[in-house]
Chains A and B, each alone.
Chain A
Amino acid sequence: MTDLRRRGGGGDTDNSDNISDKEADGEDRLACPGEAESKDATPDVAPPSENTPHCLNKALEGLPPRWKNYWIRGVLSLAMISGFFLIIYLGPITLILVVMTVQIKCFQEIITIGYRVYRSYELPWFRTLSWYFLVCVNYFFYGETLADYFGALVQREEPLQFLSRYHRFISFALYLAGFCMFVLSLVKKHYRLQFYMFAWTHVTLLIVVTQSHLVIQNLFEGMIWFIVPISIVICNDIMAYLFGFFFGRTPLIKLSPKKTWEGFIGGFFSTVVFGFLLAYLLAQFQYFVCPVGYNSETYRFTVECEPSELFILQEYTLPAVVQNETVQLYPFQIHSIFLSSFGSLIGPFGGFFASGFKRAFKIKDFADTIPGHGGIMDRFDCQYLMATFTHVYIGSFIRGPNPTKVLQQLLGLQPAQQLSIFNTLSSHLRERGMLPPVAAWTPRPPSPLR
């Protein structure tokens, strides 16, 4: 079965799949499936070339290369952070577009690595199929989001209504078409490669696309649920680096030799404090706190509402051990502590995963899009788990179901079921005193939905 390298002598050259044969990784052999078709000597994933913009180069000519490196990284960090502020200012639509762009770029970076590792250049179908699957999965997710949040708009337009009603079926049909094309494109000598690429594409979709959609769903909950987690991860990155730089001594994990325990713990505490303060700052503005709503009349997104109780200052009694006082806090700040803890403690595992991945495939960076920092994936590897955690956190502890959606489902039931639910609901409301008891019942005007 595994006739990978049985070509008589010289079998071992096959596997040195990749760049540095410094590591005589004997066991790593079977990695490359280049068995039947070709000899290996995989093209190395090209080392990131020097693509710092020319103006920066000129400005920093005078400095020694080590400082130049720091300056470039610093300048680019500031540039990215400013970019972040700018897109927040521009509003939800821009944010969605940026998230989508980042997602596409990450997908492309990972797929490119896969192509190089498997040297699939001679299988042109694969690029097409991978992009096709990306489009399908995005269509599925965006369709679900749109149907949820823009229910009113969708109901109005006839083609949109049709598309939304049969949305799952259409998405499935599109996916199936891609699946059949894959099966029909299997070429005799390249089976294993093709299956690997198929799996690579699917795992990448699983990682990249679902994350980005969770990010967008968090965004719709309120921009603060988007900004605070991302800022926490960025802050943890920077703080852990600084603490490690100044105080670092004990290595943290073999996988990333530059990480230290001092950096880890220092980063944890400073991130918690940072998150706490940032939450305090942002929770005051309706722009950040309100769920993104779509106003059907003006065709615009609105972020206006009555802030929920999470974002209203409340009194908390400090435990007696500290002081016998009360403080005024936003409840959201308590939640931010949990988000910060996760970002500092578990977030780094996403980074280790990416480091392990890069070592496994012997690449230094995912790509060289950002000078000094590597590819987009390099910046977003720790965000990977944070978005999912935030989404699960919101789903479990904060948000209830969406009332519009519940009503929509109710109206889709059979009349008998609607009746039974009606009775259940009326007795429930009556118990809680929301409905006056039977005898004195008078019609009440419907209260507006939040």
Chain B
Amino acid sequence: YFVEGQRGGGCKQTSHGSESELKDGASDSDSKVDSGPPEVPVTSDDTPEVLNKALSGLSSRWRNWWVRGILTMAMISFFFFIIYMGPIVLMMIVLCVQIKCFQEIIHIGYSVYHSYHLPWFRSLSWYFLLCVNYFFYGETVTDYFFSLVQREEPLRILSKYHRFISFALYLTGFCMFVLSLVKKHYRLQFYMFGWTHVTLLIVVTQSHLIIHNLFEGMIWFIVPISCVICNDIMAYMFGFFFGRTPLIKLSPKKTWEGFIGGFFATVVFGILLSYVMAGYRYFVCPVEFNNDTNRFQVDCEPSELFQLTDYVLPAFLESFTGWTTVRLYPFQIHSVALSAFASIMGPFGGFFASGFKRAFKIKDFANTIPGHGGIMDRFDCQYLMATFVNVYIASFIRGPNPSKVIQQLLALRPDQQLYIFNSLKTHLTERGLLPALERAAA
């Protein structure tokens, strides 16, 4: 969210400076004199040179707008581009974003705790990141690429004892932490340990839920992220034009008008976007791995969620619009739920991040993106959205994953397999899926 902007033109700070002196300008020089703790480094103006030249004519306030606007466009175009590139690229991007977010937060923790002279901590934090990622990616790969894994011998062993291996790796890190405790720095070290773990909990689990959503179908990745982005932009616009009543003390620039306007705009946007996307297989089909071609494919029969069905309008809408039925994708109904969540709860993720920044007196998480701050700044509202979408899919949409079920089936004992086989046969016969002929041949 847009926290800056309170200093208009004239101030020395550039729009994206993440200097920490929000409230007390004195802190900088003081801390430098005192123990010389390295702070979150003062960010210099790092707008690309080309932009600087192009905008040199404008006053600094307008320049700020332009920089933000251009960067926004750049990010959105980039988003479209990676969608076009396909699932593998998306996964890579998610991984990169996760690593960058992790690095930003750990960097803040280091600066807060002056841990620069404890070199173990960087290594340990990155080691823990690696362990947790290994664990999650291993589970994902095992679930979705079961046949591939079964084929390659080393992969099969890794996957069979996956939890044990991950746990052993984590334990090694834990023991290294204990062995690295230094007499005068206990509290610091425990704080950093806790900080690392909470960051892992927040950042890494979210990114894996995003990837799970992605495998469900790219539409489950695109629509939630777009809803959050849209809510951001729309709430800002409504607040800019109509804003009057402040929303929460934590973020003084947010207004109720922006909040409510953003809500309605996002719901409408979600409905339209899902209408557009639900027509294409590329977005709608679960991502699968084709064993023969060793490629990802997104080809399938769209499920009933993505087939136009007729809905009867309730009476009052009927009189309003004059239609009796509408043709909608059922997914559009779900998108209303997703948009509603993005508009109502998403901002809480933003408030959480704002509170965090105020608590540690930083302006932005980092200054990776000119005009916008760090990667975390852009993703703070996405934080809750990914979890919600995953829980939503698991509760209301998706049944169990078939390849995982097969995997478990084949791991059972023979007599248990036989029992299940017979139960399944009875079940299928009851539902008329197994004609008598097939039954005799089965």
Contacts and interface: CB of A to CB of B under 8 A. Distances in A.
A446 B414 contact: no
A23 interface: yes
A447 B362 CA distance: 65
B408 interface: yes
B418 A407 contact: no
Contact of B415 (A26, A359, A447): A447
Q: Is the interface of B mostly helix, strand, loop or mixed?
A: helix
Nearest to B114: A30
Interface string A404-446: 0011011111110111111011101100101100100100101
B402 A176 contact: no
Interface in B96-113: 111-113
Interface residues of A, number: 90
A294 to B, nearest CB: 18
Contacts of A31: 187-188, 191
B171 interface: yes
Given A203-B198, A349-B178, A360-B186, A169 B395 contact: yes
A27 B356 contact: no
A352 B186 CA distance: 12
Given A1-B40, A352-B178, A403 B419 contact: yes
Contact of A2 (B188, B361, B428): B361
A195 B356 contact: yes
B316 interface: no
B74 interface: no
A406 B31 contact: no
Interface string B172-196: 0011011101011111111100110
Contacts of A389: 167
A300 interface: no
Given A6-B34, A179-B348, A183-B351, A191 B400 contact: no
Interface stretch (B22-30, B211-219, B228-236, B272-280): B22-30
Interface string B64-95: 00000000000000000000000000000000
A67 interface: no
B167 A388 contact: yes
A406 B391 contact: no
A356 B195 contact: no
Interface stretch (A126-134, A142-150, A392-400): A392-400
Given A183-B351, A393-B164, A169 B392 contact: yes
A169 B395 CA distance: 6
A262 B388 CA distance: 53
A31 B197 CA distance: 18
B374 to A, nearest CB: 14
Contacts of A401: 408, 411-412
Given A1-B20, A441-B442, A415 B400 contact: no
Nearest to A358: B186
B348 to A, nearest CB: 5
Contact of A425 (B161, B396, B424, B431): B424
Given A1-B20, A357-B190, A447-B418, A406 B405 contact: yes
A121 B49 CA distance: 52
Interface string A143-174: 00000000000000000000001101100100
9 contacts: A3-B31, A168-B394, A206-B201, A356-B190, A361-B187, A393-B164, A412-B400, A422-B424, A444-B418
For the complex of A and B, 6 pairs with smallest distance between CB atoms: A1-B20, A191-B359, A360-B186, A409-B400, A3-B27, A401-B408
Interface of B: 20, 24, 26-27, 30-31, 34, 37, 39-40, 111-114, 160-161, 163-164, 167, 171, 174-175, 177-179, 181, 183-191, 194-195, 197-198, 201, 248-250, 345, 348, 351-352, 355-356, 358-362, 384, 387-388, 391-392, 394-396, 399-400, 402, 404-406, 408-425, 427-428, 431, 433-434, 440-442
Given A2-B114, A169-B396, 17 more contacts: A2-B111, A5-B34, A28-B185, A172-B387, A191-B355, A195-B355, A356-B181, A388-B167, A400-B412, A403-B416, A418-B424, A421-B409, A429-B414, A429-B418, A429-B421, A447-B415, A448-B419
